[in-house]
Structure 1
Amino acid sequence: MRTTKLLAAAGTLGLALSATPALAVNGHYVGGIEGTKGPSLPPEGLYYRGYLVQYEIDSIQDDDSNDVPLDNEGSVTAFANRFIYVTDKKFLGADYGMETIIIAQRNDFDFEALGADQTESGISTVFLGPVILGWHGKQWDSVFAAGHWFDTGDFEAGNPASDGKGFGTTMLTLGGTWYFDEARDWSFSALSRYEIKTEQDDTDVTPGDSWIVEWALGKVLNNGVEVALAGYDGWQLESDSGPQTTNAKVEQHAIGAEVTFPVKAIGAQLSGAVYTEYANKNRPEGNLFRLHLTKAF
């Protein structure tokens, strides 16, 4: 029974992980990297945001959110460079902006259940977002955005540590921030991403659409530091299609805390967060640590 369960899980997870970067649900976007007030577009100007993400994998979860047998550990280290330009133009009453993201990533996996002990690194993906629309009210902000993840990394079917995914992803964004008081000290934000994938190179598999939601309940303290309860949740909404695919779908859930504070010496803002994942399905599970620095020019 143990051997049968292991072989079944390995077969399902082998297909899932060959199409799934360990950080994301089953696409390119990584939940938990934005956090507090993620849907609030900044004022007109040019901005740089650098993200440092460390994901420590403790186990691989099956379709019932149980640990797959044997030792399955690993880590992902990613550094993303994001440039945002908010113009002085308006569209549908919203501020109009655009963005690009370039990600370098290192994957180090030792998955005994899959017979995979591999390390790969390189430029994994490039995102171009020609449309960002941000609306602002007295006690609210909202955002809509659209763009595409181009898979620029190397992909090898059957190697879950590949820094490339072998497919591209069109991403649609919708979210909002609500401020509970006029001083905007208390806020709740939710930022959702809908991902639509292309067919994967070499396998002819098309990963199913997915939906990711990041949320945060934040409080600005008297010294300007903001603390928040934060989390992210992701669901694969459709099964993969193509040769040798199954009905298995990926889920990812996490809860954590975030602290954001100004770095006045350089006119920047630094944010750090830590998340613990739970109840994942058909994917790795672990802890995610994230730092991001935002600088306006």
Structure 2
Amino acid sequence: MRTTKLLAAAGTLGLALSATPAFAVNGHYVAGIEGTKGPSLPPEGLYYRGYLVQYEIDSIQSDAGDIDDADGSVTAFANRFIYVTDKKFLGADYGMEAIVIAQDNDFDFARSSDSGIGDVFLGPLILGWHGQQWDTVFAAGHWFDTGDYDSTNPAAVGKGFGTTMLTLGGTWYFDEARDWSFSALSRYEIKTEQEDTERTPGDSWTVEWALGKVLNNGVEVALAGYDGWQLESDSGPNTTNAKMEQHAIGAEVTFPVKPLGAQLSGAVYTEYANKNRPEGNLFRLHLTKRF
């Protein structure tokens, strides 16, 4: 009875868990994974960044608030490769990137699960500008519909549609020593029509932010959060005017791993005031290594 109620509510609100990853607003990008200084492009070189993300679903939210409690989880390990070239364009450092994600979805409330390689992202354009006390980034790329998608399985790792993602963000350093910083990184997502359902998710905009302080021992601590809005209603058969929102606040710690010549960052977020989508808690680790 409870499962039937939750699934019916999800359909009524246009949550479409089969159409969107549970921990993104309504597209592909998962807010909160970059955190402090996310808009600051690193120096020339080849970088690997591995992300471990755990999202625990506590409830499903409507415009008015809780529909019901809902148990579920998403575990993802994302592999991101970034190459910053020695080339300049419009005064900016030029780079490119690729992301491949292994994902495990377990939606107890929907009695469905799936695991495998999700949709792949290719970003042929990253531009990074740098000043004495600021960094700015612009990027463009596309999430390709490469993961396995099943319209009858709410937990399918593939989303069944592609997403063009545009990125704009900046980091401001309050002092010349760059000990204090505030960063904001935004992603605008434009989706294609979903296979089988003929539905097209509406455009969305996500911002993740962090206020950070570097301590004397090199460890950086930050107050962090993310906010996301679906700007347009979904279009196509069996859609509604419901739009999704996602909000979270949390904390992040970043410290150097000197024996590996790497950097490790961890963050925890608690979501609040979500609309027409799941709500829960997100835990993230990422390790960055330059080659």
Q: Answer whether TM exceeds 0.5 for this pair.
A: yes
Q: Deviation string for 1:268-295 (max 9, x for gaps)?
A: 0000000000000111110000000000
Amino acid at match of 2:11: G
State the alpha-carbon separation in 2 of the partners of residues 15 and 253 from structure 1: 16
Q: Give the 3-state SS of the residue equivalent to 1:9 in structure 2.
A: helix
**Structure 1 residues 13 and 226, CA gap change in structure 2 (3 angstroms):** same
State the alpha-carbon separation in 2 of the partners of residues 239 and 14 from structure 1: 9
**Structure 1 residues 10 and 193, CA gap change in structure 2 (3 angstroms):** closer
2:67 corresponds to: 68
State the alpha-carbon separation in 2 of the partners of residues 17 and 282 from structure 1: 11
2:33 corresponds to: 33
Gaps of 5+ in 1: none
State the alpha-carbon separation in 2 of the partners of residues 296 and 149 from structure 1: 24
State the alpha-carbon separation in 2 of the partners of residues 192 and 14 from structure 1: 24
State the alpha-carbon separation in 1 of the partners of residues 236 and 118 from structure 2: 24
* Larger mean Cα displacement after TM superposition, 165-174 or 10-19: 10-19
CA contact (8 A) 2:76 2:103 kept: yes
1:132 matched to 2:126? The reply is: yes
1:203 matched to 2:197? The reply is: yes
1:288 matched to 2:253? The reply is: no
State the alpha-carbon separation in 2 of the partners of residues 133 and 236 from structure 1: 26
Q: CA deviation at 1:154?
A: 1.3
Amino acid at match of 2:62: D
**Structure 1 residues 15 and 119, CA gap change in structure 2 (3 angstroms):** same
Task: Pick from 232, 236, 259 the counterpart of residue 265 of structure 1.
Answer: 259
Describe how 1:246-257 pairs up with structure 2 within 5 A.
246-257=240-251
1:237 matched to 2:236? The reply is: no
What is the TM-score with the length of structure 2 in the denominator? 0.96
Q: Deviation string for 1:51-84 (max 9, x for gaps)?
A: 00000111111122x2213x41100000000000
Q: Give the 3-state SS of the residue equivalent to 1:16 in structure 2.
A: coil
CA contact (8 A) 2:184 2:207 kept: yes
Describe how 1:29-108 pairs up with structure 2 within 5 A.
29-64=29-64, 66-69=65-68, 71-108=69-106
Gaps of 5+ in 2: none
Moved over 3 A (4+): 5-8
State the alpha-carbon separation in 1 of the partners of residues 153 and 71 from structure 2: 15
Q: Give the 3-state SS of the residue equivalent to 2:259 in structure 1.
A: helix
- What percentage of aligned pairs have identical amino acids? 87
**Structure 1 residues 256 and 194, CA gap change in structure 2 (3 angstroms):** same
**Structure 1 residues 157 and 6, CA gap change in structure 2 (3 angstroms):** closer
What is the TM-score with the length of structure 1 in the denominator? 0.94
Q: Give the 3-state SS of the residue equivalent to 2:119 in structure 1.
A: strand
Q: Give the 3-state SS of the residue equivalent to 1:17 in structure 2.
A: coil
* Larger mean Cα displacement after TM superposition, 274-283 or 13-22: 13-22
* Larger mean Cα displacement after TM superposition, 232-241 or 154-163: 154-163
**Structure 1 residues 222 and 83, CA gap change in structure 2 (3 angstroms):** same
CA contact (8 A) 2:14 2:276 kept: no
CA contact (8 A) 1:14 1:158 kept: no
Q: CA deviation at 1:243?
A: 0.5
**Structure 1 residues 56 and 93, CA gap change in structure 2 (3 angstroms):** same
Amino acid at match of 2:48: Y
State the alpha-carbon separation in 1 of the partners of residues 32 and 13 from structure 2: 23
2:213 corresponds to: 219
State the alpha-carbon separation in 2 of the partners of residues 29 and 6 from structure 1: 25
State the alpha-carbon separation in 2 of the partners of residues 287 and 225 from structure 1: 24
State the alpha-carbon separation in 1 of the partners of residues 246 and 235 from structure 2: 20
Amino acid at match of 2:186: S
2:21 corresponds to: 21
1:143 matched to 2:137? The reply is: yes
Amino acid at match of 1:227: V
CA contact (8 A) 1:74 1:109 kept: yes
